[in-house]
Amino acid sequence: MNSDFKDLLNQFNAAGIKYFIIGGYAVIFHAEPRYTKIGVENTPSNAQAVFLALKNYGAHFQEL
């Protein structure tokens, strides 16, 4: 697993974010490589946790 992706998922797990992964890593094992998508639960508290996890991961945000 790509170390950046693993670091991002570690931030999500540490923040208790509810998410799911579509394609990508499973497909690489069984077929051709594809992009991986992450979906997150659409709630205000989860959105706030995602924002903080992405910030801790190193994502750069302009003022929101």
Q: What is the pLDDT of residues 15-35, one digit of tens each?
A: 999 887 776 665 665 566 556
Distance of CA 7 to the CA centre of its chain: 9
Query: Is 46 within 8 Å of 16 (Cβ atoms)?
Result: no
Q: What is the pLDDT of residue 28?
A: 61
Distance of CA 40 to the CA centre of its chain: 8
pTM of the model: 0.52
